[in-house]
């Protein structure tokens, strides 16, 4: 594996850097809490809203490694757009891999142009890590599915135009009774709860309700009973995106801490000259570099059609744990200033925590890794 950026990847990185400086920073100075539609639309214009998906459906046709680099850079530069793209990418991935041709033609080009925003609706009040325990039902009646149930913590909830929804189509079959559906905003019976503001997220989540929600039979993505496989396939790739955005957070916090350690004076010299601070900086840099290498390996394996789910879980585990530790140490290096809203590291600290929870908690990642390690003894 070659960890250096290709010329094309470096051009992408510079495109992101220029976009953030020219468009994002001025927008965020005056923006409120609403979804940043102007920035999202601009991502579509720049070809960044569908980087790893086929050109025949409007995508960039690039590899997942390039996608990972873009997400990391967006997060490193202090914007939440990396997380926006990561969530938007999940329904794109599912439609591209499991959707029929009419579904691909209908949704993917518009999502690539950022004309449609996507959301992924799996989690329920009693089904988080145990995704197979979902209760939302989808009953086929004639040429329509009737959905009943509730989803929680749905990022882009209420804003998204299309929702990739997991629901039970056959009771008593556990994960084999789950199917996946593409539901459009405005579908009768689709409703949204109040805004939630999870710690560290710039944009809200909402509950999503299905109250005798009527959707055409054509909204089924893949075959009935494939929904759990569909969701897990998406989450395997999604863990690479979470690792990437977490790396960007960690790198940003490290850069701030390194600069501050060089500038801050105590006892007649910069605090970076004290061995205690040097050891912290060294550990921070090593953790980021190690997590980045594993994340790039996971993307490389995916790009080359090789098994990658265990490595993706390792990447997610290492990168999000590194982000939490690095941002915590960055606050420590800043001292009292690190807790102040006038300084950036406290915000990065708050943002880092969510990475250890989404796309499967880090405890679940350890279970996945161990399961894959032990498989070799059962063959």
Report pTM: 0.95
Asked whether residue 2 is assigned to any structural domain, the reply reads: no
**298, 315 contact by CB (below 8 A):** yes
Within a domain: 105:
yes
Res. 278: pLDDT tops 80:
yes
**Does 315 or 203 have the greater pLDDT score?**
315
pLDDT digits (tens, 9 = 90+) for 64-111: 999 999 999 999 999 999 999 999 999 999 999 999 999 999 999 999
Supply the mean pLDDT for the chain.
95
What is the mean pLDDT of the segment spanning 278-307? 98
Tell me what pLDDT residue 2 has: 83
Do 234 and 358 lie in a common domain? yes
Asked if 33 and 171 sit in the same domain, the reply is no
- In order, the DSSP letters of 21-46 are IIIIHHHHHH--SS--HHHHHHHHHT
Domain boundary among 174, 194, 226: 226
Look at residue 33 and tell me if it is in a domain: yes
More confident residue, 379 or 221: 221
CATH number at residue 187: 2.40.110.10
Structural domain includes residue 170: yes
Q: Are strands 118-121 and 162-168 parallel, antiparallel or unpaired?
A: parallel
Q: What percent of the chain has pLDDT over 70?
A: 99
Q: Is the pLDDT of residue 199 over 90?
A: no
Please indicate, yes or no, whether residues 236 and 222 belong to a single structural domain of this protein.
no
Where does the pLDDT of residue 204 fall: very low under 50, low under 70, confident under 90, or very high at 90 and above? Answer: confident
What pLDDT score was predicted for residue 228?
96
Q: What is the mean pLDDT of residues 7-16?
A: 96
Whether residue 360 sits in one domain with residue 233? yes
Count of domains observed in the chain: 3
Distance CA 190, CA 209 (A): 6
**Strand pairing category for 178-184 and 137-141:** unpaired
Q: Is residue 268 part of a domain?
A: yes
Q: Is the pLDDT of residue 126 over 70?
A: yes
- Cα–Cα distance, 10 to 8 (Å, whole number): 5
- Tell me if 1 is assigned to some domain: no
CA distances from 323 to 244, 245, 348 (A): 10, 9, 9
Report the C-alpha gap between 319 and 146 in whole angstroms: 40
Q: Are residues 191 and 64 in the same domain?
A: no
**Residue 126 belongs to domain spanning:** 118-226
Structure confidence at residue 285 as a pLDDT band (50, 70, 90): very high
Structural domain ending residue among the three candidates 58, 90, 112: 112
Comparing 172 with 99, the larger pLDDT belongs to 99
What is the pLDDT confidence band of residue 237, given thresholds at 50, 70 and 90?
very high
| Torsion, Cα of 11, 15, 18, 21 (10° steps) | -130
Look at residue 29 and tell me whether its pLDDT is greater than 80: no
Evaluate whether 138 touches 183 at the Cβ level (below 8 Å).
no
Residue 164 has pLDDT above 80, yes or no: yes
Please state the rounded mean pLDDT for residues 253-259: 98
Q: Would you say residue 39 has pLDDT above 90?
A: yes
Same domain, 263 and 189: no
Give the pLDDT of residue 33.
73
The answer as to whether 25 is a domain residue is: yes
Same domain, 149 and 260: no
319 and 215 both lie in a single domain: no
State residue 379's pLDDT score: 66
Which residue, of 112, 130, 159, is where some domain finishes? 112
Judgement on whether residues 141 and 125 belong to the same structural domain of the protein = yes
- We report the CATH number of the domain holding residue 343 as 1.20.140.10
* Residue 15 belongs to domain with CATH number: 1.10.540.10
- Is the model's pLDDT at 227 over the cut of 70? yes
Active site residues: 359
* Average pLDDT score over residue span 181-187: 97
Whether residue 46 is contained in a domain is answered as yes
Q: Are residues 247 and 320 in the same domain?
A: yes
Cα(33)–Cα(41) distance, integer angstroms: 17
Residue 302 region by backbone torsions, left for phi larger than 0, else alpha for psi between -120 and 50, else beta? alpha
How would you class 146 by CB atoms within 10 Å of its CB: exposed for 0-12, middle for 13-18, buried for 19 or more?
Answer: middle
Do 167 and 79 share a structural domain? Answer: no
Q: Are residues 199 and 253 in the same domain?
A: no
């Amino acid at each position: 594996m070659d960890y250096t950026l290709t010329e094309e990847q470096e051009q992408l990185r510079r495109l992101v850097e220029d976009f953030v400086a020219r468009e994002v920073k001025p927008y965020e100075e005056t923006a409120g809490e609403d979804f940043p539609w102007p920035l999202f639309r601009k991502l579509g214009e720049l070809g960044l809203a569908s980087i790893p998906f086929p050109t025949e459906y409007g995508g960039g046709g690039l590899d997942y490694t390039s996608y990972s680099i873009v997400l990391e850079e967006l997060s490193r530069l202090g914007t939440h757009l990396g997380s926006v793209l990561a969530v938007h990418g999940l329904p794109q991935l599912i439609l591209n891999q499991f959707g029929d041709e009419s579904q691909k033609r209908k949704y993917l080009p518009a999502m690539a142009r950022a004309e449609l925003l996507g959301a992924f609706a799996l989690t329920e009040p009693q089904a988080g890590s145990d995704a197979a325990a979902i209760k939302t039902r989808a009953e086929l009646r004639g040429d329509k599915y009737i959905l009943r149930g509730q989803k929680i913590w749905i990022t882009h909830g209420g804003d998204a135009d299309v929702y990739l929804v997991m629901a039970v189509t056959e009771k008593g079959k556990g994960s084999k009774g789950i199917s996946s559906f593409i539901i459009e905003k405005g579908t009768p019976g689709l409703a949204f709860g109040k805004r939630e503001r999870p710690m560290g997220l710039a944009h809200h989540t909402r509950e999503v309700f299905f109250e005798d929600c009527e959707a055409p039979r054509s909204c089924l993505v893949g075959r009935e009973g494939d929904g759990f496989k569909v969701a897990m396939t998406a989450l395997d790739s999604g863990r690479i995106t979470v690792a990437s955005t977490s790396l960007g957070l960690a790198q940003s916090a490290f850069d701030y801490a390194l600069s501050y350690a060089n500038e801050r004076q105590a006892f007649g010299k910069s605090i970076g000259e004290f061995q205690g601070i040097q050891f912290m900086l060294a550990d921070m840099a090593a953790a980021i570099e190690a997590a980045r290498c594993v994340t790039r390996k996971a993307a490389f394996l995916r790009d080359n059609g090789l098994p990658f789910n265990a490595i993706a879980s390792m990447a997610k585990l290492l990168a999000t744990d590194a982000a939490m530790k690095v941002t915590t140490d960055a606050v420590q290096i800043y001292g009292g200033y690190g807790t102040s809203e006038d300084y950036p590291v406290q915000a990065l600290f708050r943002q880092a925590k969510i990475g250890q929870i989404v796309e499967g908690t880090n405890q679940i990642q350890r279970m996945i890794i161990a399961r894959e390690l032990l498989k070799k003894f059962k063959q």
